C-alpha cells in the first residue's frame, strides 16, 4: 500500500484486510470528534544548533501538519501541540531511561527539554493558533496515565478520534499512538505527518502500528475523509 511518505508491505495489508474487512478502519471521520495531536515538534528535535536529538526530516513535515491543523479547526475539531518536557521527577521516577544514557547525553536532554529553555520551544514555522491547546508530557507517550493531561483534555471536549503527527515516528509518536488506542481512542498515524531518523525506521513503525493498533493514512486521504464527514454532518 503506497501512501505519501511511506509504503506498507502488501502482506501486512492483506492480513489487516482479512481481520478488519477493509484497508482503512477509520476512513469515516466525524470532524467534530477528531483532534490533531502534534508530538514534539520542538527546537530540541528540529534545530541542529541545539544539539540534543535533531531529526532533519521533521522540518519537512511542517507543511502537512499545518495543512491538517487548518482543516481540523475549520471542520470543528481541535488541535493539540505536545511538548516533550523534563522535570526533576524524571530523574527518579524514570531513572531507568536516564541511567542508560551517557552523562553527556543525559545533560543534553535535560538542557533541551526543561521548561523555559530554547530547546523546549515549539518550532516557529508551526501555525499555532490561540484556540489550540498546548500540552506538556513527561514520558515518550502523551497518553500514558498520569504523565500528561492530554487524554483528559481530549475527552473533556468530546474527541474520540486522534490523528497523530510529529517526531520521532518510532519513539514518541508510536508510543503515543499505541497508548491512545489502548485507552480507547480511534487512532490514525499520518504517514507524511511523522518523521524519523531514517525512512526504514519510519516505515517499520507505521507498518507495526497499522498491523495491530490502528490506521495509517496520508494527509490527502485525511483531507478527503474530513471533507466527507463535514458534508455528512451538513446534510
The predicted-structure confidence for 73-113, as pLDDT tens digits, reads as follows 999 999 999 999 988 786 677 777 767 878 887 788 877 78
Quick one: pLDDT at residue 235?
63
178 has pLDDT over 80: yes
Q: Please give the grid coordinates belonging to residue 39.
A: 508530538
Quick one: pLDDT at residue 157?
98
Residue 211 to residue 207: CA distance in whole angstroms: 6
Which whole number is the average pLDDT over 144-151? 95
| Portion of the chain with pLDDT greater than 70, in percent | 97
Quick one: pLDDT at residue 111?
79
Which whole number is the average pLDDT over 197-201? 98
Scan for cell 474530513, then name that residue. Answer: 226
Instruction: State which fold the 2-23+33-234 domain adopts.
Output: Rossmann fold (3.40.50)
Residue 22 to residue 41: CA distance in whole angstroms: 32
Q: Specify whether the CB–CB gap between 6 and 13 falls below 8 A.
A: no
* Strand ranges, E, within the chain: 2-3, 6-7, 34-39, 78-84, 133-137, 161-167, 186-195, 215-217
Q: What is the number of other CB atoms lying within 10 angstroms of the CB of residue 49?
A: 8
Quick one: pLDDT at residue 234?
67
Scan for cell 495509517, then name that residue. Answer: 216
Q: Please give the grid coordinates belonging to residue 10.
A: 502488501
Could you tell me which residue, 132 or 234, shows the higher pLDDT? Answer: 132
Q: What is the average pLDDT value for the chain, to the nearest integer?
A: 94
Quick one: pLDDT at residue 185?
98
The predicted-structure confidence for 26-79, as pLDDT tens digits, reads as follows 999 999 999 999 999 999 999 999 878 899 999 999 999 999 999 999 999 999
Scan for cell 491543523, then name that residue. Answer: 69
Quick one: pLDDT at residue 107?
80
Is residue 37 helix, strand or coil?
strand
Residue 83 to residue 116: CA distance in whole angstroms: 12
Write the DSSP assignment of 94-116 as a string of letters.
Answer: THHHHHTS-HHHHHHHHHHHBTT
Quick one: pLDDT at residue 58?
98
Q: For the chain, give every domain's residue range.
A: 2-23+33-234
Quick one: pLDDT at residue 137?
97
Which whole number is the average pLDDT over 132-146? 96
Quick one: pLDDT at residue 91?
65
Amino acid at each position: 500500500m503506497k501512501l505519501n511518505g511511506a509504503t506498507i508491505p502488501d502482506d501486512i495489508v492483506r492480513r489487516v484486510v482479512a481481520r478488519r474487512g477493509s484497508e482503512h478502519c477509520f476512513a469515516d471521520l466525524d470532524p467534530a470528534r477528531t483532534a490533531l495531536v502534534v508530538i514534539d515538534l520542538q527546537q530540541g528535535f528540529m534545530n541542529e544548533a541545539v544539539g540534543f536529538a535533531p531529526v532533519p526530516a521533521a522540518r519537512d513535515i511542517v507543511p502537512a501538519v499545518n495543512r491538517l491543523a487548518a482543516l481540523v479547526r475549520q471542520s470543528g475539531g481541535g488541535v493539540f501541540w505536545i511538548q516533550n518536557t523534563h522535570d526533576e521527577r524524571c530523574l527518579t521516577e524514570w531513572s531507568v531511561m536516564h541511567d542508560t544514557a551517557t552523562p553527556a547525553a543525559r545533560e543534553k536532554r535535560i538542557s533541551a527539554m526543561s521548561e523555559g529553555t530554547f530547546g523546549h520551544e515549539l518550532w516557529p514555522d508551526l501555525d499555532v493558533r490561540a484556540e489550540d491547546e498546548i500540552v506538556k508530557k513527561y514520558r515518550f507517550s502523551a497518553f500514558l496515565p498520569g504523565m500528561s493531561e492530554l487524554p483528559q483534555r481530549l475527552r473533556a471536549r468530546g474527541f474520540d478520534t486522534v490523528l497523530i503527527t510529529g517526531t520521532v515516528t518510532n519513539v514518541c509518536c508510536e508510543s503515543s499512538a499505541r497508548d491512545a488506542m489502548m485507552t480507547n481512542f480511534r487512532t490514525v498515524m499520518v504517514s507524511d505527518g511523522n518523521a524519523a531518523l531514517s525512512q526504514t525506521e519510519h516505515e517499520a513503525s507505521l507498518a507495526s502500528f497499522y498491523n495491530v493498533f490502528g490506521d495509517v493514512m496520508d494527509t490527502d486521504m485525511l483531507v478527503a475523509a474530513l471533507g466527507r464527514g463535514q458534508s455528512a454532518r451538513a446534510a
